[in-house]
Amino acid sequence: MLDGMSRVTVARKVRRFADGAFHQVPDVVAGEEPLEIRAGGRTLTVTMRTPGHDIELAHGWLHGEGVIAGVGDVRGASYCAGSDSDSLNTYNVLDVSLTDPAGADVGAALDRAVRTGVTTSACGVCGSASIEALRNRTRYPLVPGLPAVDPAVIAGLPAALAERQRGFRRTGGTHAAGLADSDGRLTVVREDVGRHNAVDKVIGAALLAGGLPATDQLLVTSSRASFELVQKAVMAGIGVLVAVSAPSSLACEVADDAGLTLIGFTRHAGFNVYTGPERVVGALESPGTQP
């Protein structure tokens, strides 16, 4: 299996303007290459990602699309040999072998995955159709009030995630996602140029470790909270999504309908609770007066 770490970052020479003059200096940028995910030779999606943890990414994506429920639904995954014009392995085409590819539910899920995934893994249908689709596909109803998290723990999560973002410190060009327990300890962190890919890698890692549903975990992301991130959290049974940036309107609607606690603009000084305040200690108390 390829160790994608050799392509996580790429060295380049740049012309930097500073102090009134240009200088040629070395720089490092985040690696970005396409990953085609197939099942039984059938292309399901092509996503632009940072190479590395591709098996986790594929498992996370397949789970988020409702194709698999657990690690037992996958027989194996391998890179396709001879995938470029010179018959060399690019390690950018991953073929997943499903345990029961002929199953009726699997076939329907694969058809849905092809329709929504061939353009980008960040795509979804809109509005009420998105909410209804998620209701029908969710395997793990969220547990009300679980986990219960102290506000100080939530406020500290962005800094804890940033400490583990080695790729971002080198390039400034990657997102990060992580799973944390209710005490704020990060159990797994992954980075990628795509925020949805980083989340897929994290959920894929949990799935491969037998950790789904992750009802006692919080999903933390360095990005904004969009519909697809809420969808992935709900599908994994995660009750709390903590984002450093803003949520979208559809993310709020879907989170509210699913019973997910959605938190945004998370900083050391505070954060906003958009939905599901019952999981945040003290959030349901009578609000004070804004100074």
From residue 91, alpha-carbon distances to 2, 7, 74, 174 in Å are: 7, 11, 19, 20
Q: Are 168 and 143 in contact (CB under 8 A)?
A: no
Contacts of 7 (CB under 8 A, 6+ apart): 31, 33, 50, 51, 52
Can you tell me the distance from the alpha carbon of 222 to that of 123, in angstroms, rounded to the nearest whole number? Answer: 19
DSSP 99: S
123 assigned to active site: yes
> Token pair for residue 128?
């009420």
Burial of 277 (0-12, 13-18, 19+ CB in 10 A): middle
- List active site positions: 123
